A and B are shown apart, each in its own frame.
Chain A
């Protein structure tokens, strides 16, 4: 075999392996989704959305857990969204080149990749210890702290995509900087910012670790934000590891619901980016 043939063979081998690697990645996505559908669909019934989490052995649903997850995610995004957007605005507009912005960007990146269970410990020390008990609001704060760095990052990136000429035009009309930001920059970057918020919601709605010792869990219907509140991830965790078949079934169904919602959110976010703002296209 001459040198050329060896090189060609090596090339073919390497490229086939890279195709194989991609197939492996896609295979695991398919395998996980298939497992969820196979095990989760069996338990899907109107009762899942209308009954409370049951004691072992009797039938029930996930209503209180769904409610708790939605409420805590909403509160978290209502706190984390505006804070993240304002901080991102500072980084992209007012403090674009200042030294403190470089530090904030770095710290934000650290928070973005910090283990979520550490955030749970922080909120435990901050709120749960002081209040003396677990509570839904502590869970929501933990989720908000996880949402903030995501929002900061996407907001800054999206605001940076707004052409400088548009801002200059607004400034030339005599607008103050805040007016330029709220009336020109925000509308131009709206779809990008919405995408960031959707991604933040997708990120926090599946988080389990930070809720384990902040919101804890609650077997009953509760709307009291100052008391422990049921939530889907922790219920899945508890039920999946239980020896009771009816609990395990509910865990699979809950897992299916949560994954499908998150995948829909992520795909929607991507569609928003590619459809509405040509600047955001990758």
Chain B
């Protein structure tokens, strides 16, 4: 009798060990799948882009032409549009995001902090296609009727930067796309900045206040220097968003494969080109060129995101070592 109890226990223990192994393997497999996904994305982009890249060689990156009729493709215009819209969007979004983060961490009374914070986060939850149709039907007409004529009248005659504000006010174009992108990335950047500002130890701020500094001086001379790497990380995350954003841009950029010197002219971005043309692309070279655009976009965003994560990781490590 004693021996049978032992065997039952042994069998139960063996069953437990088996389940342990199965569960552990299942979690490991799921975790490895994440790696596999990224590998699959990279591989499929390289394979899909290969025909176009081997056909056009390096000139794919340097030519502006994009002609499905003669099967000639170059990525310069979309790359230019992607970089310019994202840079302009950041230029508009960074000061606003910084202000929001300051308001949420240093100024807002406790009862206001949560609702305002949640409202800004909800702005991030609104799907990008909503920004797109809002940009097209609400923002673009306003820009066309009021903002762009003023820009043309005031900034157009100036030397150098006047070139950026030439031509008729279309409403849609590079400037409008940047504007919509800016509104989209504000919640992302300000959320990261807020979190980063909250890691600044109170002791540092209080000692600065104790020396008689104003709130602004505490922010500028204590909070910002302390949080600099994290702020850069947050901006880079926002940049990653802006570079890859598709639907919002597709609606308002005008989808013209050319590089206009004016910000008011229609242009295109990598993601907008893919979204507009991919489903209808006929011919292997056409499809492959669009995938090649995707590969370039992935390379750019990967670099930006990796840099952002590195900056934020550095900050996390420092925050840990301070504790």
Contact between chains at B219 and A35 (CB < 8 Å): no
Query: Which of A58-66, A109-117, A188-196, A218-226 lies at the interface?
Result: A109-117
Q: With both chains docked as a complex, state the minimum distance between the C-beta of B187 and any C-beta of chain A, in angstroms.
A: 7
Binds B, one of A11-19, A47-55, A164-172: A11-19
**Cβ–Cβ contact B19 & A178, under 8 A:** yes
- Contact of A117 with B127 at beta-carbon distance under 8 Å, contacts A126-B40, A209-B246, A266-B121 already known: no
Residues of A within 8 A of B137 (CB): 35, 39, 240
Residues B134 and A121 in contact, CB atoms below 8 Å apart: no
Residues A70-105 near B (CB distance < 8 A): 82-87, 89-91, 93-95, 100-101, 103-104
Instruction: Give the interface centre of A31, A209, A212, A259 by most chain B CB atoms within 10 Å.
Output: A209
| B246 with A114: CB separation less than 8 A | no
Contact: A111 with B127, CB < 8 Å? no
Closest to B184 in A: A28
Interface residue B30 (Cβ < 8 Å from any Cβ of A):
yes
* Chain A proximity of B314: nearest CB distance (Å): 14
B245 adjacent to chain A (CB < 8 Å): yes
B41 pairs with A114, CB closer than 8 A: yes
Q: Mostly helix, strand, loop or mixed at chain A's interface?
A: helix
Of B70-78, B159-167, B300-308, the stretch lying at the interface with chain A is B300-308
Also in contact, A14 and B122, with CB within 8 A (given A21-B99, A255-B133)? no
| Residues of chain A within 8 A of B32, CB atoms compared | 104
Query: Is A122's CB under 8 angstroms from B40's CB?
Result: yes
Known contacts being A113-B241, A121-B291, A259-B127, is A95 close to B28, with CB within 8 Å?
yes
Shortest Cβ gap from B165 to chain A (Å): 23
Size range of the interface on A? Answer: 35 or more
- Chain B's interface: helix, strand, loop or mixed, by majority? helix
A262 at the B interface (CB under 8 A): yes
- Given known pairs A32-B134, A208-B247, A212-B278, the reply for A86 and B103 (CB within 8 Å) is no
Q: Which of B198-217 contact A (CB under 8 A)?
A: 214-217
State how many angstroms separate the Cβ of B295 from the closest Cβ of chain A: 9
- Structural contact, A115 and B133, CB atoms closer than 8 A: no
Are A107 and B38 within 8 A (Cβ)?
A: yes
B227 interface residue per 8 A CB criterion: no
Give bound CA distance, A213 to B277, whole Å: 10
CB proximity of B81 to chain A, nearest CB, Å = 14
* A86→B30 contact, CB < 8 A: yes
Q: Does B158 contact A (CB under 8 A)?
A: no
CB distance from A92 to the nearest CB of B (A): 9
Q: Is the CB of A117 within 8 A of B130?
A: no
Which of B97, B129, B190, B305 sits near A206, CB closer than 8 Å? Answer: B129
Chain A contact residues, CB within 8 Å of chain B:
7-8, 10-11, 14-15, 17-22, 24-26, 28-29, 31-32, 35-36, 39, 82-87, 89-91, 93-95, 100-101, 103-104, 106-111, 113-119, 121-122, 124-126, 145, 148-149, 152, 176-179, 181-182, 202, 205-209, 212-213, 216, 233, 236-237, 240-241, 251-252, 255, 258-259, 262-263, 266-267, 270
Contacts A20-B99, A28-B183 given; 19 further ones with Cβ under 8 A? A15-B215, A28-B186, A32-B130, A86-B31, A87-B30, A106-B306, A109-B305, A111-B34, A111-B41, A113-B241, A114-B298, A121-B291, A122-B40, A145-B37, A207-B127, A233-B129, A237-B247, A258-B130, A266-B121
